[in-house]
Amino acid sequence: MNSRIPGLYKQDVDERLSSVAERAGLSDDAVRAFRGDAFDATDADMVSENVVGTIEFPLSIATNFRIDGEDVLVPMAVEETSVVAAASNGAKWARPTGGFLTSTSGPIMIAQIQAVDVADPHAAALRIQRLEGELIELANEQDPILIEHGGGCEEIRPRVLDTTRGEMVVTHLLVDVRDAMGGNAVNTMAEALAPEIESITGGEVHLRILSNLADQRLARASCTVPPEELETDEVDLAGTEIRDRIVDAWAFAESDPYRAATHNKGIMNGIDAVMTATYNDWRAIEAGAHAYAAQGGYAPLTTYAVDDDGNLSCTIELPIQAGTLGGATQLQPVAQAAMELLDVDSADAFAGVLASVGLAQNLAGLRALVSEGIQAGHMNLHAKNIAVQAGAPPELVDDIAARMVSEDAIRQDRAEELIVELSE
């Protein structure tokens, strides 16, 4: 499979779906789901409460991704202009050096059990530590299927927290959740262990819930971009200059949380769009990403540097709590089709895709910011859409869009005039 589909953006929606379906060998069910009408308010009633309807997002495909040696077409659901185009561009610049390389720390989720009113918290924490084996056994009795698949609770870590309401013993369960997001599995284990924790500590257990600061479930991606890939007709800057400005932009984010918040928002534009397209819990990843970014003072989740060959070396690391098994994906045919398109065989592989998309998104955002600015891209894309809507033949779309942008007249009537003028 080759994820390069030049000119995809010039096709109409039906043609585009056919191109993607053919390229990815999508099933008829997936194509039908993408075509629409596969999920109505009655179906949605199974997902949430007090449902009165559904709301649509554009479902787009980001091209050009090569991740760990395999090409991937990436489904993205997002209402913001330029996000999908930017992700596809970022992925294209990484292709000459082989695309993205990813790794993960393994699918380990954390659950927390809060015990209050503990007479001697430090002694209680030591007792919990001593009984780790029994507690792990009890946790694992809750989920034989997870154990069968090689997962399960692996470690118990008691902590003593000094809070404004006095000391508390907070016990962490570290659970390998394999290919699930794992929320249900770890919450069930935490609830099951609560009486035991009460009897060990002599305190009272209140909260039993996963932590979205999933710092034992990290995904990393890296790519290398030759400077010439970063050049653009929009500005008269050498690739090496754009490369250096991107490193400066990263240094700015590293030194300033005001900038780092926006920098990381750019990353999440891509990750959230894939999470939405696949009906996964993007709030969990948002919470985890920002908490992780804040651990040593709020910082960017990516890094940029110039390597020994003069290329831009780009990396990302963040917690990715997403699975390929269970969750709401099965309830939504479009989300299932999106997973079919992604064709990932494990939660770790899915995490690698999400991290790569976040990195591509951030890289493309920074490239735009240090060169023509982001408004030009928005306007170009908008102008192209208007040209296509006005019926411009594919070979004229770029020209008509460029003319409308330079005249500051991005309108259907102007596009129609230009079609006539340029077709003569």
The structure tokens listed for 146 are 């997870």
> In terms of CB distance, is 29 or 79 closer to ligand MEV?
79
Amino acid at 202: G
Give 303-306's long-range contacts (Cβ < 8 A, gap of 24+).
303/250, 304/246, 304/247, 304/249, 304/250, 304/366, 305/247, 306/243, 306/244, 306/247
Using CB under 6 A as the binding rule, whether residue 276 contacts ligand MEV is answered as no
Kindly state the smallest distance separating residue 328's Cβ from ligand MEV, in Å: 25
Using CB under 6 A as the binding rule, whether residue 367 contacts ligand MEV is answered as no
> In terms of CB distance, is 33 or 271 closer to ligand MEV?
271
Amino acid at 144: P
> In terms of CB distance, is 81 or 187 closer to ligand MEV?
81
Measured CA to CA, the distance from residue 37 to residue 31 in angstroms comes to 12
Using CB under 6 A as the binding rule, whether residue 251 contacts ligand MEV is answered as no
Alpha-carbon Rg for the chain, nearest whole angstrom, is: 25
The structure tokens listed for 240 are 């090496």
Kindly state the smallest distance separating residue 82's Cβ from ligand MEV, in Å: 8
Measured CA to CA, the distance from residue 314 to residue 293 in angstroms comes to 17
> In terms of CB distance, is 94 or 135 closer to ligand MEV?
94
Q: Count residues contacting ligand MEV (CB under 6 A)? A: 10
Considering only the stretches 70-78, 170-178, 265-273, 348-356, report the one whose residues sit in contact with ligand MEV under the rule CB under 6 A. Answer: 265-273
Measured CA to CA, the distance from residue 233 to residue 21 in angstroms comes to 32
Using CB under 6 A as the binding rule, whether residue 263 contacts ligand MEV is answered as yes
Using CB under 6 A as the binding rule, whether residue 290 contacts ligand MEV is answered as no
Q: Are 197 and 113 in contact (CB under 8 A)?
A: yes
> In terms of CB distance, is 19 or 81 closer to ligand MEV?
81
In the set 90, 183, 319, 365, which binds ligand MEV (CB under 6 A)? 365
- Selecting among 68, 120, 149, 378, the annotated active-site residue is 378
| Residue 205 β-bridge partners | 115
Using CB under 6 A as the binding rule, whether residue 127 contacts ligand MEV is answered as no
Closest CA to 160 of 191, 129, 193: 129
- Per the annotation, the verdict on 206 as an active-site residue is no
Distances (CA, A) of 324 to 38, 174, 344, 417: 21, 20, 8, 50
Q: Are 142 and 215 in contact (CB under 8 A)?
A: no
Measured CA to CA, the distance from residue 228 to residue 95 in angstroms comes to 13
Measured CA to CA, the distance from residue 118 to residue 81 in angstroms comes to 53
Using CB under 6 A as the binding rule, whether residue 378 contacts ligand MEV is answered as no
In the set 266, 270, 323, 327, which binds ligand MEV (CB under 6 A)? 266
Using CB under 6 A as the binding rule, whether residue 269 contacts ligand MEV is answered as yes
Measured CA to CA, the distance from residue 86 to residue 342 in angstroms comes to 19
- Per the annotation, the verdict on 265 as an active-site residue is yes
Using CB under 6 A as the binding rule, whether residue 291 contacts ligand MEV is answered as no
The structure tokens listed for 412 are 């259907």
Considering only the stretches 135-143, 170-178, 264-272, 343-351, report the one whose residues sit in contact with ligand MEV under the rule CB under 6 A. Answer: 264-272
Considering only the stretches 101-109, 132-140, 336-344, 362-370, report the one whose residues sit in contact with ligand MEV under the rule CB under 6 A. Answer: 362-370
Measured CA to CA, the distance from residue 204 to residue 302 in angstroms comes to 41
Kindly state the smallest distance separating residue 258's Cβ from ligand MEV, in Å: 11
Using CB under 6 A as the binding rule, whether residue 265 contacts ligand MEV is answered as yes
Q: Are 153 and 175 in contact (CB under 8 A)?
A: yes
- Per the annotation, the verdict on 378 as an active-site residue is yes
Angle (deg, nearest 10), helices 374-389 and 394-407: 130
Using CB under 6 A as the binding rule, whether residue 262 contacts ligand MEV is answered as yes
> In terms of CB distance, is 158 or 266 closer to ligand MEV?
266
- Per the annotation, the verdict on 233 as an active-site residue is no
Kindly state the smallest distance separating residue 183's Cβ from ligand MEV, in Å: 28
Tell me the Ramachandran region of residue 50: left when phi exceeds 0, alpha when psi lies from -120 to 50, beta otherwise. Answer: left
Kindly state the smallest distance separating residue 264's Cβ from ligand MEV, in Å: 8
Amino acid at 381: L
Residue nearest to ligand MEV (CB): 266
Active site residues: 80, 265, 281, 378
**What does the binding site for ligand MEV look like in residue numbers (CB under 6 A)?**
80, 262-263, 265-266, 269, 365-366, 369, 374
